[in-house]
Chains A and B, each alone.
Chain A
């Protein structure tokens, strides 16, 4: 399916929540949606017979300097096509609905994004730090992260 057709379908269904299509220079292309509607768009893309995006390949947090982004790479086994979904979040208290009820694969990747970016996924079944210790301060993949000098008295 062409990215433009897919974007039009999302736009027809969700109206204003479909913000833009990032196509030139993006492989796969991204459909940018409003953060609040990400879970609904995800269910639509998974269940619509023409879409059938049954597999979430990758979920990544991104520090886009003045704001954060979360990128979802989707793949459909029945149709063998791909698309990206993206949301932009403010730097202050970034949060968006979780999609782990749509694709269970999302859980670990959402935990990782929460751990390393501090992005909160509301309604997640289990949102804890995953790679770093539970008492770690800060979120290291943020561009403005300050490296700590010590951890539990151990100089780093």
Chain B
């Protein structure tokens, strides 16, 4: 016996997903309004990790803020370190030795690889495939070993300095980096064979939460999330900084290869392809790095001239921008940190409307958000 749909009234439910939930990658709370298993509305609630980094920034000197940038995005602390150093150098007009710039590019790209590995591993784990996570952690350990060799730390590096880097590369670092690249590059194909084109995995991601290029730009998506929608924009190419103009690489964009353009699968695939490009950049940087000093002569306590600078650089989770207002003293008068994950969460409510609850997990994984960067 069939009944008309209105004879079976369903009741909307309000469900909390998080703040403690394994697939939300931290303390993200999503307030779900669902009709059965269909999401009517998913509203993100952020701020559980708010530590007031912008207020702290007004109370410490430019050099003292460096360790705090580690805590912005702990999976890509090197990128945040370098972003802060570049921003302050732009504000104060500091020239950095070329060797230091090469070292920054090397550590940034290594960290991009390790960050994308976590994105890839945790995403696949969220989708129910646990094995690739172990593979990605195995490779990330090698990067962590390299960073430990460099600065003694494995997570929060505090390695860059205003005007250079804290120490020159230790003996054998470049050789070990080369070894890692030779070891790592074939692994990307292994990941693709193992999981990327797995039929179930593709079905979970393709055609889910697609974002048009126009929406992606209007909603301020950056980094792999923007490129996943087919927008060819990479700050390393389009607003070149450091020594990136001397290095050759391609900007990876989504192509809609398994579904529609800008779906979860495209965002996933952009990260996989970017790891290959990072390997390419690293090979060139390791071959080209010149000898020389790694630190410019910058006093610990310096007073940049009064002025305002907005500097943004390409971090693994999109654009990390620092808007610094200097009033001519040793501390910033105002420090605004614009992070990729925070702005990305803005589009979350729009793209999740009408999806299944299980797809929410796919969307969070495909955005590759990190909570300390959202909450600052």
Contacts and interface: CB of A to CB of B under 8 A. Distances in A.
Do A and B originate from a single complex? yes
Contacts of A84: 308, 310
B217 A77 contact: yes
Interface string B239-255: 10000000000000000
Contact of A60 (B215, B219, B336, B343): B336
A30 B268 CA distance: 37
Q: With a 10 A CB-CB cut-off, give which of A22, A54, A57, A116 has the most chain B CB atoms.
A: A57
A107 B343 CA distance: 9
Given A54-B217, A55-B217, A57-B319, A62 B334 contact: yes
B338 A57 contact: yes
Contacts of B309: 27
B227 interface: no
Main secondary structure of the interface of B (DSSP, over half): mixed
A58 B46 contact: no
A58 B50 contact: no
Given A54-B218, A103-B218, A105-B346, A26 B338 contact: no
B338 to A, nearest CB: 4
A131 B50 contact: yes
A120 interface: no
B33 to A, nearest CB: 15
A130 B47 contact: yes
A71 B90 contact: no
B338 A58 contact: yes
A105 B319 contact: no
Given A25-B308, A104-B346, A108-B343, A132 B47 contact: yes
B310 A57 contact: yes
Interface in A97-141: 103-105, 107-109, 112, 116, 129-133, 140-141
B305 A25 contact: yes
B29 to A, nearest CB: 12
Contacts of A26: 307-308
B375 interface: yes
A22 B310 CA distance: 14
Interface string A64-105: 000000010100010010001000000000000000000111
B9 interface: no
B323 A71 contact: yes
Given A58-B323, A58-B336, A140-B55, A105 B50 contact: no
A77 B231 contact: yes
B58 to A, nearest CB: 8
Contacts of A130: 46-47
Contact of B220 (A28, A56, A63): A56
A132 B47 CA distance: 6
Nearest to B43: A126
A132 B28 CA distance: 14
B55 A103 contact: no
6 interchain residue pairs of minimum CB distance: A105-B220, A25-B307, A60-B336, A131-B47, A58-B338, A108-B346
14 contacts: A25-B305, A25-B307, A26-B307, A55-B220, A57-B220, A57-B312, A71-B323, A104-B218, A104-B220, A104-B346, A104-B347, A105-B343, A130-B46, A131-B46
